[in-house]
Amino acid sequence: MVRPRVVRVQELVSIDEIRAAAAGLDGVALRTPLVPFPRTWPQLLLKPESLQPTGSFKLRGAYTAISALSAEARRRGVVAHSSGNHAQAVAYAAALLGVPATVVIPANAPPVKIAAARAFGAEVVISRPGLSARVAATDELIARHGYTIIPPFDDRMVIAGQGTVGLEIMTDCPDADLVLCPVSGGGLIAGIAAAIKALRPATKIIGVEPELAADARDSLRQRQRVAWPSAQTQRTVADALRVEQVGELPLRHMLSYVHDVVTVSEDEIRAAMRRLALEARLVAEPGGAVAVAACLFRGRELPAARIRVAVLSGGNVDPALLTEILGAAAGQPATGEPATGEPATREPVTGEPGTARTAGCE
């Protein structure tokens, strides 16, 4: 008689795990504020993770995961693969903890991200573009050196660390009824959703990704992991969101907690970056700006809300790209961005200039 194979399914990350991660991150990660985006109604608050020491939210998960390793694993060292932001975070966190680090970054990552990982003390290995190439290079390093991998998103400790973003949002604005979050591999939205749904179940969580890399949208709606070809996801300017497939554990969180995933165009991403810099005085990389782009240009696709929070997930933008995008402000506005500077027609309602709306978040 053949016995059926028993598959053990991981439980979803708990609020207690996220609170433990928050305690460990005290004094390491910046507790980023909620910053109002001017002249928007419904109220739009920004969670600028671009202000972290490594320029993105990734520090939270990387430090949480590395700090949980045994002394022997720390001695051997860690390895990570990344489009750039996770690599920087692992390099920085490993240096703080005295752990040797090697990071695998694709050749088409912005040079500013590669340089930062080296500056933080990691050994950098350049791979071909695409998730499969990064994973293959990482597996080879593990086999050769015995490193412990710090996954970029499909990991319980990483998700718990990223969930501290949601914990802070609910502490600072307990009445927020809509939270928007960029999606790549899904670790950030998984952690944020786990925290927020534990504390305020009525709050809706929306993921945002580029139209040119919408694997998370397809995965959520088909209720299974859907992969997009690397050649397609590489088209988007949002280099941080080019992962071809969400992680298994993140998708389980998304299926339980996430209301929907919406997409934004390349022009809308660039317009959001420009408006963040000129109106909110915040620098965002393309992937970091997608949640804001959804609020500014896709309002009719979003659930009704009084208070919206958009996670600005990172600001590690190539200087030449930022110069190009900001330079467009002196000429013709990008598609989807009205010349008047008012929210695009997809935004349902506009507030009066200069009016502050902070109900529930004083």
User: Among residues 67, 219, 265, 313, which one is catalytic?
Assistant: 313
- What sections of 77-155 are H helices per DSSP? 85-97, 111-119, 131-145
Active site (annotated) includes residue 14: no
Which candidate, 228, 194, 196, 191, places its Cα nearest to that of 211? 228
282 membership: H or E segment, kind and range? none
Which candidate, 64, 87, 65, 66, places its Cα nearest to that of 77? 66
Cα separation, 275 vs 321, whole angstroms: 15
3-state secondary structure of 255: helix
What are the beta bridge partners of residue 262? 208
Q: Is there a contact between 153 and 187 (Cβ–Cβ < 8 Å)?
A: yes
Cα separation, 21 vs 60, whole angstroms: 8
Active site (annotated) includes residue 67: no
Cα separation, 209 vs 226, whole angstroms: 14
Cα separation, 50 vs 314, whole angstroms: 4
Which candidate, 316, 269, 319, places its Cα nearest to that of 84? 316
User: Residue 151 burial (CB < 10 Å; 0-12/13-18/19+)?
Assistant: buried
Q: Is there a contact between 249 and 154 (Cβ–Cβ < 8 Å)?
A: yes
Residue that has been written with the tokens 């961005």 in this structure: 337
User: Among residues 47, 58, 197, 204, which one is catalytic?
Assistant: 58
What are the beta bridge partners of residue 103? 80, 124
* Catalytically active residues, by annotation: 58, 313
